[in-house]
Structure 1
Amino acid sequence: MKLIDLTHELEDGLLSYSVDETPSIFPLATIDSFGYEVNKLLITTHTSTHIDAPKHVLNYGEAIDTMPLENFFGTAFILDVSFIENTVISLEIFCKLYTCDADYIFFYTGSESKWNTQEYLYNYKYPSLDLCDYISKLPIKGVGFDTISIDSPHSVSLENHKALLKNNKIIIENLNTLSLLKNKLCTVFIFPLKIKNGDGSPARIIAQI
């Protein structure tokens, strides 16, 4: 058995879309001064590797703390789409590549190598709405991407998020090290924080092969 961490580190000053979203981590107490260390985290529910719950875009969507625990464990197929030239991942290319049934579909686009850069924020691959509509009807628990969003950086309505979340498919964004698992099937353990009425949560994602 081998365990692989699919999570980016949560660190001070990560590049974000706005100053308000930039995480801040600073000491409240140090061992030298108090005999113990405590740090304060100022983060959003969507900082670093995280899960989007239906409440993220739906007024009456389920919150992260009330979602069944079964939603956070299962098999995942890591679909390699890093080689496609188009920015939009089409339904046609998905149907050609997805050959293995799983509880989750994780898309490796190659963006993990651009982590914490401006290019990561604005230049990434994302699924078409047709593809999201198709996936929303599959008997799966959710999807994951190694990108900051499953919608276009220019999207205002977040139509891809809504297509999946209204059908209770969780969305994981900012996955890491999917390059180690391209086109493989593995078991995944997903650990979000239990945030009351949370619209999402930072999460530790572990793969077992």
Structure 2
Amino acid sequence: MYYTRSMIVCLTLHALHAVCEHDNGDIIDLTYTFDENTLFFPGHEGFVQEILHRGTYGPLWFESNRIETGEHTGTHMDAPAHLREGQLRIEAVPASHLVGPGVKVDISSKASMDPDAQVEINDIMAWEEENGRIPDGAIVMMFSGWGKFYPNRTAYFGSDRNDSYTDENDVSLLNFPGFSTPAAEWLVENRNIVGVGVDTSSLDFGQSTNFSSHVVFFEQNIFGLENVANLDKMPTTGSTIYALPMKIKDGSGAPVRIIAIVNDDVINGVSATASNYFLTFIAFFIVFVYKILF
């Protein structure tokens, strides 16, 4: 009996030690709340929530709502099919692409002086000089600092119109940062990334009317994340991004919940954080068995 008890104690301590050896990391929510203030690209649809019931229902408390929203409203994922015929629709984006190393390219300094600033090839080169090669399977985020304007439509878009993004001469009314087409081409030709994201409403900068950066990414089935929140809190490197869209059949996009976990190593598709939760469960299970037996 003595050796059995000692063995269980040792197993418990070992499991708890394994949990403590790994930092679960900080979890950063990169998603805006969907509500009456949710922004959407001019010409698209906003978010509407209708309360169907909120109160007692017999002996129970019961809440139920109906929502209506466009696919490309608020924080959302663009499927490659959004602007490229024959490419992946939202339900076909591989689940393995929804988790990847987070890369943040910071152009906030030049964006503060130029609302039409773009991520250029030299910005990517500078990132790699300081942080090393962009890892395979990465999700590359542009940080422009534009989140400080959300949800003020005029400041965020550079226009207060929500019906159209161009004037009568088809000139864009919008001003905000995005990825330049040469930078998009360089990324798809030289690095093995699965997704890109921006803290603005479009992968292309506001003055674009042909959305060429979208097209470059989508031709390679690289998805886009738009209206990404809290990128000021995400580190330049050392995080894992989880971007989980609503799985809509034949969808061109979908609302998405995005989080970044700092110092969350993903090895062979298994998150260190998830492994730690499992180890914690094992430790408590051993303690439970110990109490029953002794």
Q: TM-score, structure 2 length as denominator?
A: 0.66
Residue matched to 1:159: 212
Letter in 2 for 1:180: K
Aligned-pair distance for 1:93?
2.6
Query: Quick check: 1:8 aligned with 2:32?
Result: yes
Structure 2: which 5+ residue stretches go unaligned? 1-23, 159-174, 263-294
Query: For 1:205, what is the secondary structure of its paired residue?
Result: strand
Residue matched to 2:230: 177
Conserved? CA contact 2:105–2:123, under 8 Å: no
Letter in 2 for 1:115: Y
CA RMSD of aligned residues (A): 1.8
Query: Quick check: 1:134 aligned with 2:186?
Result: yes
In structure 2, relative to structure 1, the CA distance for the partners of 1:15 and 1:171 (3 Å cut) is: closer
Aligned-pair distance for 1:125?
1.1
Higher deviation after alignment, 173-182 or 163-172: 173-182
Correspondent of 1:25 among 46, 49, 55: 49
Letter in 2 for 1:10: F
Query: How far apart are the structure 2 equivalents of 1:19 and 1:88?
Result: 23
Residue matched to 1:67: 93
Structure 1: which 5+ residue stretches go unaligned? none
Query: How far apart are the structure 1 equivalents of 2:36 and 2:97?
Result: 30
In structure 2, relative to structure 1, the CA distance for the partners of 1:75 and 1:15 (3 Å cut) is: closer
Structure of greater Rg:
2
Aligned-pair distance for 1:30?
1.8
Which structure has the highest helix share of the two? Answer: 2
Q: TM-score, structure 1 length as denominator?
A: 0.92
Letter in 2 for 1:132: A
Aligned-pair distance for 1:181?
2.1
In structure 2, relative to structure 1, the CA distance for the partners of 1:47 and 1:16 (3 Å cut) is: closer
Runs of 4+ in 1 over 6 A off after TM superposition: none
Conserved? CA contact 2:41–2:201, under 8 Å: no
Alignment of 1:72-151 (within 5 A): 72-84=98-110, 85-86=113-114, 87-98=117-128, 99-100=131-132, 101-102=134-135, 103-117=138-152, 118-122=154-158, 123-137=175-189, 138-151=191-204
Conserved? CA contact 1:78–1:185, under 8 Å: no
Higher deviation after alignment, 23-32 or 12-21: 12-21
In structure 2, relative to structure 1, the CA distance for the partners of 1:18 and 1:77 (3 Å cut) is: closer
In structure 2, relative to structure 1, the CA distance for the partners of 1:199 and 1:109 (3 Å cut) is: same
Q: Deviations over 1:29-48 (max 9, x none)?
A: 22157852111111111111
Query: For 1:180, what is the secondary structure of its paired residue?
Result: coil
Q: Using the aligned pairs only, state the percent identity.
A: 25
Q: Deviations over 1:2-39 (max 9, x none)?
A: 21111111112424344751211121122157852111
Alignment of 1:36-51 (within 5 A): 36-51=62-77
Higher deviation after alignment, 80-89 or 187-196: 80-89
